Structure 1
Amino acid sequence: MNIVIIDSNFQDNKPEQEIFQAAGLEVSFLSGTEEESLKVVGQTADAVLVQFAILSKDILSTWTRCKLIVRYGIGYDNVDVEAATELGIQVCNVSGYCLDEVADHTAALILGVSRRLLPLHQAVERGEWAFEPIVKPMPKLADTQVGIVGFGRIGERVLQRLRPFQYQVKVYDPYLTAEAALEKQVDKEDDLKTILEQSDIIALHLPLLPTTQHLLNAETLGWMKPTACVVNTSRGALIDTVALAHALRAHTLGFAALDVFEQEPLPAQHPLRDCGNIWLTPHAAYYSDSSLLELQRSAAEEIVRWVRGEQLYSPVNRLA
């Protein structure tokens, strides 16, 4: 059984190696992620672990031996899942990792935006003390409506964190049934335009799919209040960031707080950098002292389950 780690940015891969060793499996490492190297690895590996490398249909079509891809992380848009399915390759992610960290980061951004912490901090740095002209409008939290777009495990955790602060929270998710919303005591909105029009803060918690790419664009951003804020800790390409920068500069949108971007690292000349009315964090919402260790172990454990013929914890495609 040949297992290959294609790429990762961890300090080391000892957690995976320990798990594979305990299961009697060996792992090797790909030295580079150039296209030709990626094509070769799938001809010799039975299973691969991947973090950032793009596994396109062109690459996967050469993988005559590989039968399993496990992606380090929740998102898997760097893997052509449709092509993998056609080729009989099982794709898995690590869906249970960093849920609390991302929810905490999101809630922290929402609270910081609500209390105008950035402009207040900047005012003190400038030597100013009269703050009312800077922070208005600033309704109390109980008068602030948050719209959570996407109500999976992270979206639900964000709601749990916001409830003690008495925010008015509505949820938009086409896959959330009325029965499930009632059971979870969720105020469900069935129309995206309505939740964008009514919310003071929008928090995105969606996978990146063809149907969700640029969900927030010039048109849909225009539905929002000029004082509203967008928070995105999910996938960068859910937002047309050039359109977002234009809306922020024109003050047709009040604020944005982003942890993820269409291109990472965020390019030095990207217009978002000069907006002013924005918080930018470097795709750090997933991080805690324990989250990366959890990610590495969980990814390796999925491969061990596959080798043993056990039920997989987080498959993202279904093979015939």
Structure 2
Amino acid sequence: MSDRRVLITDIAWPDISIEAAVLGPAGFAVSLAPAGDEETLVREAAGADAILTCFAQVTSRVIAASDRLSVVARTGVGLDNIDVVECERRGVAVTRVPDYCVDEVATHTVALALALWRRLPQYDRALRAGEWGTRPATLPLRRLTGTTVAILGMGRIGSAVADRLRGFGLRVGEDVTDADIVCVHLPLKPDTERFVDADLLAKVRPGAVLVNTGRGAVVDVEAVIDALDSGQLSGAGLDVFPTEPLEGDHPLRERDDVILTPHVAFYSEEALVELRQRAAQSVVDHFDGSDR
């Protein structure tokens, strides 16, 4: 297998040592693209047997650049950045790592929900501004136990969130009607884009909390801002956004009733090592037939 080459399109970590430690001993030559734009990737993909991608767009042109291409491996859960239809048309396999960060994302989701429910962002900023005690802007603040949470997307992560929240005495379901907390874990597909819109938010209990650690485009951010302004939502916790990075002048950045995190719900040291090893191993498995 020494003549086989893997192109890594982009990385979100300092180097490719973990990937190389898996692929090198299996006989693969590994290269990292100098940039993640389409023109660069088309040039770098020529002659590649496999593509390993994190966030870069693996378009039909990138896929067509190598007549040797056999597999595109996603270093992550979703396949939003890969032209899966083109891969299928050309007989190119597509792999992903769907379950490496279930614990991390579920924990991050619950942390956001609890912090918002207890109005922690508002209290933190008030204390730093010299205030003390309860504030009108944070009232009423209801007891968490016995409230209702709606989980949109009851897959691996959604189910893990449900298990954690039941431990706090919450009623867990999938119906947003009169829900106190809504956690979004839907995959991004044509029928889920802007799934959480003004009509859906109108169904929740006034003063509800929204958390999205799934896909940014599943939530209509403008509808969220309107719901916060009207009081239909009392808070929102967002780890993902329709456009990333979030624009520097985005109005969400100025709000006290929102917690923003930079698409890091997946992260722990252990999760990152597991992700990188398994993504690289999926390439090895594809060529030695152990994925069949």
User: Counterpart of 2:210?
Assistant: 230
Judged with a 3 Å threshold, the aligned counterparts in structure 2 of structure 1 residues 17 and 62 are, in CA distance, closer, same or farther, namely closer
Question: 1:58 deviation in Å?
Answer: 4.0
Q: Deviations over 1:29-68 (max 9, x none)?
A: 2222232222233431010101111122344344422110
Judged with a 3 Å threshold, the aligned counterparts in structure 2 of structure 1 residues 237 and 115 are, in CA distance, closer, same or farther, namely same
Query: Is the 1:148–1:203 Cα contact (8 Å) retained in structure 2?
Result: yes
Distance (Å, rounded) in 2 between the aligned partners of 1:202 and 1:268: 26
Q: Deviations over 1:207-265 (max 9, x none)?
A: 11111111112322222233011100111111111222222223332210001111111
User: Counterpart of 2:291?
Assistant: 311
Distance (Å, rounded) in 1 between the aligned partners of 2:52 and 2:254: 37
Instruction: Pick the aligned partner of 1:216 from 196, 200, 206.
Output: 196
RMSD: 1.7
Distance (Å, rounded) in 2 between the aligned partners of 1:228 and 1:157: 21
User: Counterpart of 2:184?
Assistant: 204
Give the 3-state SS of the residue equivalent to 1:54 in structure 2.
coil
Instruction: Pick the aligned partner of 2:279 from 284, 288, 299.
Output: 299
Question: 1:128 deviation in Å?
Answer: 2.5
Q: TM-score, normalised by structure 2?
A: 0.93
Code of the residue aligned with 1:102 in structure 2: it is V
Instruction: Pick the aligned partner of 1:252 from 219, 232, 244.
Output: 232
Give the 3-state SS of the residue equivalent to 2:133 in structure 1.
coil
Unaligned runs of 5+ in 1: 173-194, 313-320
Instruction: Pick the aligned partner of 1:3 from 2, 6, 13.
Output: 6
Is 1:243 aligned with 2:223? yes
Query: Is the 2:210–2:235 Cα contact (8 Å) retained in structure 1?
Result: yes
Query: Is the 2:10–2:56 Cα contact (8 Å) retained in structure 1?
Result: yes
Give the 3-state SS of the residue equivalent to 2:6 in structure 1.
strand
Distance (Å, rounded) in 1 between the aligned partners of 2:232 and 2:168: 27
Is 1:96 aligned with 2:99? yes
Is 1:120 aligned with 2:123? yes
Distance (Å, rounded) in 2 between the aligned partners of 1:243 and 1:99: 28
Code of the residue aligned with 1:248 in structure 2: it is L
Question: 1:132 deviation in Å?
Answer: 5.9
Instruction: Pick the aligned partner of 2:250 from 257, 270, 287.
Output: 270
Query: Is the 1:103–1:158 Cα contact (8 Å) retained in structure 2?
Result: yes
User: Counterpart of 1:167?
Assistant: 170
Query: Is the 2:194–2:219 Cα contact (8 Å) retained in structure 1?
Result: yes
Question: 1:5 deviation in Å?
Answer: 0.9
Q: TM-score, normalised by structure 1?
A: 0.85
Question: 1:28 deviation in Å?
Answer: 1.6
Is 1:157 aligned with 2:160? yes
Distance (Å, rounded) in 2 between the aligned partners of 1:167 and 1:34: 45
Question: 1:292 deviation in Å?
Answer: 1.4
Give the 3-state SS of the residue equivalent to 1:282 in structure 2.
coil
Instruction: Pick the aligned partner of 2:88 from 85, 96, 99.
Output: 85
Judged with a 3 Å threshold, the aligned counterparts in structure 2 of structure 1 residues 63 and 225 are, in CA distance, closer, same or farther, namely farther
Distance (Å, rounded) in 2 between the aligned partners of 1:253 and 1:29: 44
Code of the residue aligned with 1:107 in structure 2: it is V
Distance (Å, rounded) in 1 between the aligned partners of 2:27 and 2:68: 20
